[in-house]
């Protein structure tokens, strides 16, 4: 469906270590690294123009929050409450702080290639 020379922008989670119980509930089966985006391009046909990690500055918070309690040991009710809890908007001061950290990482990621991040972005071009 993409014309020759057309671009596709893809963002997804990076690194299984940042998986959360919310991911388990949503049944997200894949996490990618930059090298895997290149392999994906080779297997599917488009050219990988660029792949970068982002949300680098939030990684320490991810490590703290993603401490996993065993999903399989939770009751059905506990499992069903996971998306609701995970998608609640935090209090205004916390939301502001997280937004500021994310906003600071965005221009830095343009100039620097972060060695890892909670997410990955790729630009693919159809030959």
Q: Does a structural domain hold residue 90?
A: yes
Could you tell me if residue 34 is inside a domain?
yes
CB 80 within 8 Å of CB 69: no
43 inside domain: yes
Task: Retrieve residue 97's tokens.
Answer: 């702080």
Give domain status of residue 2, yes or no.
Answer: no
- Which pLDDT belongs to residue 84? 75
Residue range of the domain that includes 30: 7-59+67-105+116-125
| pLDDT tens, residue by residue, 87-123 | 788 899 988 998 999 888 888 888 889 998 888 999 9
Instruction: Kindly state whether residue 111 falls inside one of the protein's structural domains.
Output: no
In a domain, 110, yes or no: no
Q: Is the CB of residue 32 less than 8 Å from the CB of residue 109?
A: no
CA–CA separation, 47 vs 2, rounded Å? 13
Report how many domains make up the chain. 1
Three-class secondary structure assignment of the chain: CCCCCCEEEEEEEECHHHCCHHHHHHCCCCCECHHHHHHHHHHHCCEEEEEEEECHHHHHHHHHHCCCCCHHHCCHHHHHHHHHHHCCCCCHHHHHHHHHHHHHHHHHHHHCCCCCCCEEEEEEECC
Strand pairing class (119-125; 7-13): antiparallel
At 59-97, the pLDDT tens digits run 888 777 666 556 667 777 877 777 777 778 889 998 899
Report in angstroms the alpha-carbon separations of 10 from 1, 24, 88, 112, 126.
16, 21, 25, 19, 14
Answer yes or no: is 1 within a domain: no
């Amino acid at each position: 469906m993409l014309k020759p020379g057309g671009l596709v922008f893809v963002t997804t989670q990076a690194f299984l270590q940042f998986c959360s119980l919310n991911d388990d509930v949503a049944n997200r089966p894949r996490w990618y690294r930059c090298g895997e985006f290149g392999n994906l391009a080779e297997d599917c046909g488009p050219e990988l123009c660029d792949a970068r990690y982002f949300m680098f500055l939030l990684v320490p918070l991810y490590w703290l929050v993603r401490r996993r309690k065993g999903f399989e040991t939770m009751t059905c009710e506990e499992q069903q409450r996971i998306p609701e809890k995970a998608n609640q908007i935090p209090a205004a001061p916390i939301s502001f702080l997280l937004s500021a950290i994310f906003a600071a990482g965005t221009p830095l990621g343009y100039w620097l290639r972060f060695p890892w991040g909670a997410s990955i972005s790729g630009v693919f071009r159809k030959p």
